[in-house]
């Protein structure tokens, strides 16, 4: 699929553009999801755990660990599979059905490498960054919800989060993020590149890209948990 | 010069090209005519490498294009320009970026040199002043002209045009025809045009090949078409003018 880039500088430019599209373009949705995810998790954990026998920082500890181990990487990437994945598949699919991919080939450019590689590299760089932001904001959401509802103070939340923090958990979250980033970008690029037909097929490729990416993310989620925890 | 030797192409057992042998001369406008679905586009795709012939060979000035290694194939492709039926301009790039694309990919020109070359190519197709527009913002005829400008941005030797007049009004069609003729003569390139438009054939054609049911049914000079004595070609021409 890939060969030596025709001109490295062009590929670097395209990778930066893709990093902007994937990273900056998805920031708003990631921020919203992460804050509400942390807030809701805090309320639900509190609902299940509030008892004179359990100290309040435990809530912060559970929300913080859940965010890092599962919620931030997996939920964020499932959303990105929808947003980024469908965009990649429909963009490349439209180029395929409107002969733009053929035009690249006739010019002597390796079209699969030219179209897919910058998106994959851009995803591998930006999606883990988005996951790190999501972890941070998820905890922020937890703190805000705890304070707003009077369940626990920010000091209690942070005390719990600090006490249970393991650097390995962050490493695990990043491994997940890299894996999911590769799945989202490569599956979607493949679906787009192999589109045949017209507008209907572009839509079908886009849907397939989201569904296959989501299933692959959930499958690899289980596999990584089994292997690394 | 481009030469086809017994080129055949099958799809799922159906032989769409049944042994095409012909030559396309340098500096001439070579026209490929024939009804829809009889193999013109498949033949062109085999010639530019978008499809691999089932058997037979395509030679670009004695280089066997069908059997070249990938890297050498890419070198030959840099000498090829193609105007697609739907123009295939890159939607996400401006007109200037579209024309500049191959220059950026394959040359070490500075930005200023590239801009000069882009403006030269756009001037050739009479499209000055639309550099910053996107393909969606220009008309079909303008897209065709920009497509031609993009095709000639590198110093190409071979220009392929698939139905260059499709979807255009008669006036714009004639302008595109004139442009293709002028570029062929000015740059001394081998131009191959797929068309149904007999007006194009008689206005700008030098050599003509008539493809019928995947077979090279007739080939010769444009002036000899009317006296070809080939019943299918005569019927095709009559039907074209009747339409």
ipTM of the complex: 0.90
The pLDDT of residue A16 is 97
Cβ of residue B166 closer than 8 Å to a chain A Cβ: no
CA gap A94, A85 in Å, rounded? 14
Four-CA torsion B211, B212, B218, B223, nearest 10 degrees = -70
| A interface test, pick of B71, B105, B167 with most A CB neighbours within 10 Å | B105
CB of A4 less than 8 A from some CB of B: no
- Helix, strand and coil content of chain A, in percent to the nearest 5, comes to 85, 0, 15
Average predicted confidence (pLDDT) for chain B: 91
Alpha-carbon gap, residue B225 to A8, rounded angstroms: 50
Band of residue A4 on the pLDDT scale cut at 50, 70, 90: confident
Q: How far apart are the first and last CA of chain B?
A: 34
Alpha helix segments (H runs only) across chain B: 40-48, 70-77, 95-106, 111-124, 140-151, 170-187, 198-204, 231-242
The token pair at A181 is: 């980033």
pTM above 0.80, yes or no: yes
Instruction: Name the DSSP letter for residue A81.
Output: I
**Nearest residue of B to residue A105 by CA position?**
B50
Q: Could you read off the pLDDT of B136-164 as tens digits, one per residue?
A: 999 999 999 999 999 999 989 999 999 99
- Name the residue of chain B whose CA is nearest to A106's CA: B77
Q: Which residues of A touch B50 (CB under 8 A)?
A: 102, 105-106
Cβ of B48 within 8 Å of Cβ of A106? The answer is yes
Residue of A nearest to B71 (CA): A108
Q: What is the pLDDT along chain B (243 residues), one digit of tens a residue?
A: 999 999 999 999 899 999 999 999 999 999 999 988 899 999 999 999 999 999 999 999 989 999 888 888 888 998 999 999 999 999 999 999 999 999 999 999 999 999 999 999 999 888 989 999 999 999 999 999 999 999 999 989 999 999 998 888 888 889 889 999 999 999 999 999 999 888 889 999 999 999 999 999 999 999 898 888 888 888 888 887 765
A to B CB pairs, distance under 8 Å: 54
Residues of B in contact with A103 (CB under 8 A): 82, 84, 88, 90
Alpha carbon of A18: minimum distance to chain B alpha carbons (Å): 13
Would you list the domain boundaries of chain A?
8-228
Cβ contact (<8 Å) for B88 and A3?
no
Q: Percent of chain B having pLDDT more than 70?
A: 99
pLDDT in tens, A196-219: 999 999 999 999 999 999 999 999
Taking an 8 Å cut-off on Cβ atoms, the answer to whether A107 and B78 are in contact is: yes
CA–CA gap between residue A213 and residue A181 (Å, rounded): 10
Touching check for B85 and chain A: CB below 8 Å? yes
Residues 170-199 of A with CB under 8 A from B: none
CB within 8 Å: B106 and A108:
yes
Tokens 């369940």 — which residue?
A151
Model confidence at A221: pLDDT above 70:
yes
Q: In this structure, what is the dihedral angle of CA atoms A69, A72, A74, A75, given to the nearest 10 degrees?
A: 140
Long-range CB contacts (< 8 A, 24+ apart) of B170-174?
Answer: B172/B140, B172/B141, B172/B144, B173/B197, B173/B199, B173/B200, B174/B199, B174/B203
Q: Is B146 in contact with B124 (CB distance < 8 Å)?
A: no
Over residues A153-169, the pLDDT tens digits come to 999 999 999 999 999 99
State what percent of residues in chain A have pLDDT above 70: 99
């Amino acid at each position: 699929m890939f060969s030596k880039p025709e001109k490295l500088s062009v590929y670097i430019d395209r990778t930066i553009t893709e990093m902007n599209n994937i990273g900056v373009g998805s920031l708003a949705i990631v921020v919203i999801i992460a804050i509400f995810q942390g807030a809701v998790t805090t309320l639900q954990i509190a609902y299940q755990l509030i008892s004179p026998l359990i100290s309040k920082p435990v809530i912060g500890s559970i929300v913080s660990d859940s965010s890092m181990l599962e919620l931030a990487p997996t939920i964020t990437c499932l959303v990105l599979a929808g947003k980024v994945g469908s965009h990649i598949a429909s963009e490349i699919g439209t180029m395929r059905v409107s002969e733009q991919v053929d035009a690249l080939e006739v010019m002597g450019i390796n079209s699969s490498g030219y179209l897919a590689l910058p998106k994959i590299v851009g995803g591998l760089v930006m999606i883990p960054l988005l996951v790190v932001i999501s972890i941070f904001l998820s905890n922020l959401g937890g703190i805000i919800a705890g304070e707003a509802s009077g369940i626990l103070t920010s000091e209690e939340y942070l005390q719990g989060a600090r006490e249970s923090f393991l650097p390995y958990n962050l490493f695990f979250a990043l491994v997940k993020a890299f894996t999911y980033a590769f799945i989202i970008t490569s599956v979607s690029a493949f679906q787009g590149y192999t589109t045949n037909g017209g507008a209907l097929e572009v839509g079908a490729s886009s849907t397939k890209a989201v569904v296959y990416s989501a299933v692959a993310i959930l499958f690899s989620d289980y596999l990584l948990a089994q292997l690394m925890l | 010069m481009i030469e086809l030797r017994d080129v055949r192409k099958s799809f799922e057992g159906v032989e769409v090209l049944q042994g095409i042998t012909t030559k396309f001369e340098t500096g001439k406008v070579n026209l490929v005519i024939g009804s829809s679905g009889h193999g013109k586009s498949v033949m062109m795709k085999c010639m530019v490498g978008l499809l691999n012939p089932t058997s037979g060979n395509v030679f670009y000035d004695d280089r066997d294009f069908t059997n070249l290694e990938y890297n050498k194939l890419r070198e030959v492709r840099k000498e090829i320009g193609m105007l697609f039926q739907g123009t295939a301009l890159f939607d996400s790039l401006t007109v200037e970026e579209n024309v500049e694309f191959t220059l950026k990919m394959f040359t070490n020109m500075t930005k200023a040199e590239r801009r000069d070359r882009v403006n030269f190519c756009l001037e050739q197709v009479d499209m000055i002043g639309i550099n910053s527009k996107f393909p969606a913002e220009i008309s079909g005829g303008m897209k065709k002209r920009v497509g031609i400008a993009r095709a000639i941005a590198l110093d190409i030797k071979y220009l392929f045009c698939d139905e260059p007049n499709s979807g255009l009004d008669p006036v714009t069609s004639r302008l595109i025809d004139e442009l293709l003729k002028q570029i062929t003569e000015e740059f001394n390139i081998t131009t191959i045009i797929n068309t149904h438009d007999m007006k194009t054939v008689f206005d700008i054609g030098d050599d003509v090949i008539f493809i019928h049911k995947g077979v090279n049914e007739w080939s010769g000079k444009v002036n000899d078409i009317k006296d070809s004595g080939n019943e299918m070609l005569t019927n095709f021409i009559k039907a074209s003018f009747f339409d």
